[in-house]
Structure 1
């Protein structure tokens, strides 16, 4: 295999892994599992599994749509791709620092204490997993990795992220209420370090490229 082709292949693999880890860290499937249990306290396991399917499909649709049309929306509003890369990286880094500090909690995603109303609404969970922060991450990945073509890395990351989240939601349904807040906090902080590091990497890399123009 020619050295140039091997280098390109290694770079693509690195970008793919980076995209998947970033999306998974921002979605935070473990916390999503806890939110599902919080929102559906009176539902049977079979009903919760159906809710998990709806959540995973919603996440998948939102993130793939963001990857496909996010850059076109930027062009419609005349937003520079270079500027968006830098700002997107800053937002991702901020989310990471927020996770590290422990301020990102399950309670923030629950809009009501009424069990019946909460059981019928998955909006808080979907907004947590595929909200503005996650959408920004996916669009930033599309902008950084494939600004001029099909955002394959962002799409694959969205598919893997939704799939892993679905698996964790099913696991949470099986475990019931045994998913402790201590475990959630530990995983959230660990993921926060990854998210913050990747966000800062995006900022510094794109800022260097922008200043060298």
Structure 2
């Protein structure tokens, strides 16, 4: 395995970890599963991580074919995807990661018995940002090893996310409000930078640089 392939794996891992943000997911998970038993919470954690991983692997593998079907160039998608990812990072830096558009949606999630599929797996852990990131990363692969690196990064990130959700109460108490805020800002900045880099790559591809 070449150093370039290892570097690409690190890029994929950092990109996906930052955009999925397991600690942020754990905070929301706690807030919307207050009425559930510990056994139910842990079952939902397992189910949501599995579904989110399947969704992301599907789009990572099929994303480029979907783009070809709609005659969308990879460069155009990289630029649009980079803007979207950058916007997510900007939002995280300034307002924190938002999962619900309205208070009504949040209340409905709290009242819902099983939140493992919606909103936990989709859109919180495999939303537009994560899907876009996986497709853009796949579009930048140069060999089969790098394709496997992206898939491995997805597995590793959700492999980390599962125990974080499984022991969500522990991590929430350990970090506290200030700790969560610091993590949110750091990951937000990383996501913003990744988005900018994707845009640059897209522009360079269009200009033939």
Q: State the shift of 1:86 in Å.
A: 1.9
Count of residues in correspondence between the two structures: 206
Distance in 2 (alpha carbons) for counterparts of 1:22 and 1:115:
28
Cα distance in 1, alignment partners of residues 109 and 151 from structure 2: 35
Answering whether residue 159 of structure 2 is matched by residue 163 of structure 1, we say yes
Alignment-derived partner of residue 91 in structure 2: 98
The answer on 1:117 being equivalent to 2:116 is: no
Rg larger in structure:
1
Q: Is residue 14 of structure 1 aligned with residue 25 of structure 2?
A: no
Q: Can you give the 5+ residue segments of structure 2 that lack an aligned partner in the other structure?
A: none
Question: In structure 2, what is the Cα distance between the partners aligned to 1:95 and 1:81?
Answer: 20
Render the CA deviation track for 1:64-118: whole Å, top value 9, x for unaligned: 0011101110011111112112222222122111111124246658724257623
Greater Cα shift, 146-155 or 197-206: 146-155
SS of match in other structure, 1:119: coil
| 2:23 matched residue in structure 1 | 30
TM-score (norm 2): 0.87
Partner Cα separation in structure 2 for residue 87 and residue 187 of structure 1: 26
8 Å CA contact retained: 1:139, 1:154:
no
From 179, 191, 195, give the equivalent of 1:195.
191
Cα distance in 2 for residues equivalent to 1:176 and 1:89: 30
Contact in 1 for aligned 2:30/2:169 (Cα 8 Å):
yes
The answer for the alignment partner of 1:76 in structure 2 is 69
Structure 1: runs of 5 or more not aligned: 1-7
Question: How far 1:61 sits from its partner (Å)?
Answer: 0.5
Q: 1:108 to 1:28 in 2, by over 3 A?
A: farther
| Cross-structure match for 1:212 | 208
With over 3 angstroms needed to count, the CA separation of the structure-2 counterparts of 1:74 and 1:48, relative to structure 1, is same
RMSD: 2.5
Structure 2 SS opposite 1:113: helix
Are residues 199 and 20 of structure 1, via their aligned partners in 2, closer, same or farther at CA, if it must alter by over 3 Å? same
1:3 aligned partner: none
Contact conserved, 1:68 with 1:150, CA < 8 A, in 2?
no
After TM superposition, the score normalised by the length of structure 1 is 0.86
Shift of residue 124, structure 1, vs aligned partner: 1.7
